[in-house]
């Protein structure tokens, strides 16, 4: 077991680059995104940052070297995720959506498919979007449940050499693409005769007849993330676009959602860190008429010190989880689930307490901390809700015969 808590000089440089990217391309957009009432207009403001992410190699950094990308270690990914999330977690959620869609392609696709589907994401210009279209308006937590459960409502049937896909999808970023004509790549989860399967739909397969944008969701936080509901009405793609075997959908989906669970821990850290900075500055600068900065009142200091300790705890857990997932450690899944559940619920609690340090001034859209609370509220319910999906996965691990509670710590 190798334990090193110190990022290397290269990792510090990577963190600095990510911080500079966030300051250059994301920070100037934050206020306007929050102020823009129309959810579609708000999310479109962030398109320029997506263009920069492709140009500056951020997207390539999410693609493994073996497929032409520059993806580094789990800690590399963690450092970049936190820096971007501390400024605009909405943007991280959108990048995470791309990773969720591409991961099953790496894991289950054949070489020809991988090259074909990845091409727009290896380019150094454009605003390519890949979407993992799993979630549906009628529910997703039971997508892999056997009959008589309804499971997924979207279906694909074979017609000659084509799959024909019909159903409604919701929540994934960019489901209808930037302009409503479809994303560059949609990996759609659907029922096929052999079970739940994943099928790749490329941009050229969408037409104005087979893709209908039904709604742009008006989320309270993460407003730079374009979230829509669409109807797929007989989208026709070649048989060869099946990703992995027929019926392999659940396995590929759960594998894709493992790394993303660990990454949510880092989104939680970014949001807590941003809220902490606001509350700490307020507490050290403001007296609120009491003659001394409010940090000198013991209850205020206690909230701040507790928050800092919990941020450190979630950061280290999430580092370890991402490292375990990317290095293929069998403990990766359990650690990633803890990072997701513990990280997301800690973020809601910590940001809410920091909000109270600021007091009534915080209950004003013009004061920034409320926006961090609205962002944090998404973390327990997205990327697989903690109650409907993630805690059930943990329960499955805990009830596996021979499970060793010390294994994830490497202390068996
Ligand atoms: C910003 C954002 C980005 C997203 N990105 C994507 C994406 O890229 N791709 C994608 O496919 N989805 C995406 N989603 C959706 C997200 O992944 C959800 O977590 C997912 O749809 C599951 O939601 P849910 O757990 O609430 O399930 P639902 O099926 O809606 O369940 C609702 C509730 O019912 C209860 N419940 C249901 N079944 C059970 C059960 N068997 N056991 C216990 N309780 C149960 C739970 O309390 C659960 O919270 C995104 C959502 C947001 C907000």
Structural domain harbouring 59: 9-121
**Nearest protein CA to atom 35 of ligand 1, as residue:** 388
Note whether residue 280 is domain-resident: yes
Q: How many CB atoms lie within 10 A of CB 333?
A: 23
Domain-terminating residue out of 81, 97, 121: 121
**Quick check: is 4 in a domain?**
no
Domain at 199, CATH number: 2.40.110.10
What total number of domains does the chain contain?
3
Distance 138 CA to ligand 1 centre (A): 10
User: Cα Rg for the chain, rounded, in angstroms?
Assistant: 21
Task: Mark whether 21 and 113 lie in a shared domain.
Answer: yes
**pLDDT (tens digit, 9 = 90+) per residue, 85-106?**
999 999 999 999 999 999 999 9
Are 273 and 375 within one domain?
Answer: yes
- Going by alpha carbons, the residue nearest to atom 52 of ligand 1 is 382
Residue 134 CA to ligand 1 center (angstroms) comes to 10
SS3 342: helix
Residue 208 lies in a domain: yes
User: Each residue of 134-144: pLDDT tens digit?
Assistant: 999 999 999 99
Do 186 and 53 have their domain in common?
no
- Residue of the CA atom closest to atom 16 of ligand 1: 382
- Look at residue 124 in the predicted model and tell me its pLDDT: 86
Question: What is the rounded distance in angstroms from the CA atom of residue 368 to the CA atom of residue 17?
Answer: 25
Same domain, 179 and 49: no
Residue 285, Cβ density class (10 Å: 0-12 exposed, 13-18 middle, ≥19 buried): exposed
Position 2 scores a pLDDT of 61
139 lines ligand 1 (CB under 6 A): yes
The residue whose CA is least distant from atom 30 of ligand 1 is: 139
Pair (108, 136) in one structural domain: no
- Using the 3D structure, point to which of 197, 224, 247 is the last residue of a domain: 247
Does the Cβ of 196 fall within 6 Å of ligand 1? Answer: no
- Alpha carbon distance 95, 27 (integer Å): 16
Instruction: Give the pLDDT score at 4.
Output: 82
383 is a domain residue: yes
Q: Is the CB of 140 under 6 A from ligand 1?
A: yes
3-state SS string for 189-231: EEEECCEEEEEEEEHHHCCCCCEEEEEECCCCCCCCCCEEEEE
**pLDDT reported for residue 305:** 98
286, 232: one domain: no
Taking the CA of residue 219 as reference, the ligand 1 atom at the shortest distance is 53
Cα–Cα distance, 180 to 158 (Å, whole number) = 26
The pLDDT, as a whole number, for residue 147 is 87
Beta strands at 185-192 and 195-202: parallel, antiparallel or unpaired: antiparallel
Find the 385 Cα to ligand 1 centroid distance in Å: 5
Which pLDDT does position 406 carry in this prediction? 96
CATH number of the domain that residue 97 is part of = 1.10.540.10
Nearest CA, atom 45, ligand 1 = 388
Domain termination residue (choose one: 247, 269, 295):
247
Residue 286 lies in a domain: yes
Residue 211 domain-assigned? yes
SS3 131: strand
CATH code of the domain containing 317:
1.20.140.10
> Do residues 240 and 317 both lie within one domain?
no
Any domain includes 403: yes
What does each of the 412 residues of the chain score in pLDDT, given as a tens digit? 566 888 999 999 999 999 999 999 999 999 999 999 999 999 999 999 999 999 999 999 999 999 999 999 999 999 999 999 999 999 999 999 999 999 999 999 999 999 999 999 999 899 999 999 999 999 999 999 988 999 999 999 999 999 999 999 999 989 999 999 999 999 999 999 999 999 999 999 999 999 999 999 999 999 999 999 999 999 999 999 999 999 999 999 999 999 999 999 999 999 999 999 999 999 999 999 999 999 999 999 999 999 999 999 999 999 999 999 999 999 999 999 999 999 999 999 999 999 999 999 999 999 999 999 999 999 999 999 999 999 999 999 999 999 999 999 999 9
Handedness of CA 246, 252, 253, 254 (dihedral sign): positive
Tell me the C-alpha distance between 235 and 16, whole Å.
44
Same domain, 238 and 287: no
Question: Which residues, in sequence order, are CB contacts of 4 under 8 Å at separation 6+?
Answer: none
220 lines ligand 1 (CB under 6 A): no
Cα angle 376, 280, 312; round to 5: 60
One domain for residues 142 and 234: yes
Same domain, yes or no: 337 and 394: yes
Quick one: 255 and 355 in the same domain? yes
CA of 140 to the centre of ligand 1 (A): 5
- Classify residue 2: in a domain, yes or no: no
Q: Do 219 and 267 belong together in one domain?
A: no
């Amino acid at each position: 077991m190798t334990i090193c808590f110190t990022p290397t000089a290269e990792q510090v440089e990577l963190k600095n680059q990510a911080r500079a990217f966030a300051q250059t391309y994301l920070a100037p957009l934050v206020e306007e995104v929050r102020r823009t009432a129309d959810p579609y207009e708000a999310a479109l403001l962030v398109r320029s940052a997506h263009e920069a992410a492709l140009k500056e190699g951020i997207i390539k950094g999410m693609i493994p070297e073996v497929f032409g990308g520059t993806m580094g270690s789990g800690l590399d990914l963690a450092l970049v995720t936190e820096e971007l999330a501390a400024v605009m977690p909405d943007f991280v959620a959108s990048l995470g959506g791309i990773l969720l869609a591409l991961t099953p392609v790496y894991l289950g696709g054949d070489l020809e498919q991988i090259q074909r589907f990845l091409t727009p994401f290896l380019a150094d210009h454009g605003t390519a979007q890949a979407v993992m279209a799993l979630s549906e308006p009628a529910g997703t937590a039971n997508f892999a449940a056997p009959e008589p459960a309804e499971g997924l409502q979207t279906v694909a049937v074979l017609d000659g050499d084509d799959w024909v896909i019909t159903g409604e999808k919701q929540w994934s970023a960019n489901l209808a693409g930037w302009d409503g004509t479809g994303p560059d790549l949609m990996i759609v989860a659907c029922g096929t005769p052999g079970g739940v399967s994943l099928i790749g739909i490329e941009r050229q397969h969408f037409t104005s007849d087979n893709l209908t944008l039904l709604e742009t969701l008006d989320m309270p936080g993460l407003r730079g993330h374009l979230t829509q509901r669409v109807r797929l009405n007989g989208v026709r793609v070649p048989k060869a676009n099946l990703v992995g075997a027929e019926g392999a959908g659940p396995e590929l989906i759960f594998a894709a959602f493992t790394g993303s669970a660990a990454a949510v821990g880092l989104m939680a850290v970014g949001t807590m860190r941003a809220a902490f900075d606001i509350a700490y500055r307020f507490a050290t600068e403001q007296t609120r008429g009491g003659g001394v900065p409010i940090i000198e009142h013991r209850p205020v200091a206690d909230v701040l010190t507790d928050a800092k300790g919990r941020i450190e705890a979630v950061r280290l857990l999430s580092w370890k989880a991402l490292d375990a997932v990317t290095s293929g450690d069998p403990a990766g899944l359990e650690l990633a689930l803890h990072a997701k559940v513990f990280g997301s619920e800690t973020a809601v609690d910590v940001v809410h307490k920091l909000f109270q340090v600021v007091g009534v001034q915080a209950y004003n859209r013009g004061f920034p901390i409320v926006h961090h609370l609205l962002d944090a509220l998404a973390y327990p319910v997205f990327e697989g809700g903690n109650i409907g999906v993630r805690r059930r996965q943990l329960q499955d691990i805990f009830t596996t015969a021979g499970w060793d509670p010390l294994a994830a710590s490497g202390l068996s």
